[in-house]
Amino acid sequence: MSEKEDYLKGLSLLSKNESNYPTSPDEAQLESFENRFQGRDYEITFECPEFTSLCPVTGQPDFGTIYITYTPDKKCIESKSLKLYLFSYRTFQTFHEEVVNRVLNDFVKICEPKHCTVYGDFCPRGGISLKITAEYDREIDGLPE
């Protein structure tokens, strides 16, 4: 196996022309790859300005922007798998607070970053918008189980 093939081992979604989107975060598959700059602290930020989920009470759509900023350690999140993971919320009924905390938990479980912040900026419903931040710091929180 070449160095390139070894580096990309385990990524199954990137090379596919995916049209079958998962219908819930339970079905979605986050993938990671080796961080080739483990000796350096740097930040990666993802922004998903078209995030959608469903209200668990009314079933109506909720819209917002999800920001994920993290300092990788040994692994980085593959962006297409993250896109499909976040798309899986489109037909999933959940509260905004649950979205932000679940995204953080699932993200940390897959790539075990040094630090991660998930920020949800949700559009107003009933005249109130929500802005929610959840953070993980390995030195404080330890490694996920």
Q: How many Å is the maximal CA-CA distance in the chain?
A: 57
Contacts of 45 (CB under 8 A, 6+ apart): 67, 68, 69
Nearest one of 109, 119, 101 to 142, comparing CA atoms? 109
**Spatial contact of 46 and 79, defined as CB atoms under 8 Å apart:** yes
pTM for this predicted structure = 0.86
Domains of the chain, each with CATH number or no CATH: 3-13+21-141 (3.30.1130.10)
- The stretch 65-86 carries a mean pLDDT of 97
- Residue 13: pLDDT band with limits 50, 70, 90: low
- The confidence score (pLDDT) of residue 83 equals 95
Cα-based angle 95, 89, 129 (whole degrees, multiple of 5): 40
- Residue 48: pLDDT band with limits 50, 70, 90: very high
From CA 126, how far away is CA 60, in angstroms rounded? 12
- The confidence score (pLDDT) of residue 5 equals 61
Nearest one of 74, 78, 76 to 38, comparing CA atoms? 74
- The confidence score (pLDDT) of residue 18 equals 54
| Catalytic annotation, residues | 55, 62
- The confidence score (pLDDT) of residue 44 equals 98
From CA 26, how far away is CA 120, in angstroms rounded? 20
Cα separations in angstroms, 26 against 13, 18, 89: 16, 18, 10
From CA 123, how far away is CA 114, in angstroms rounded? 30
pLDDT of 15 > 90? The answer is no
**Spatial contact of 118 and 104, defined as CB atoms under 8 Å apart:** yes
75 alpha carbon, distance to own chain's centre: 14
pLDDT of 6 > 70? The answer is no
User: Comparing 18 with 46, which gets the higher pLDDT?
Assistant: 46
Q: What is the pLDDT of residues 131-143, one digit of tens each?
A: 999 999 999 988 7
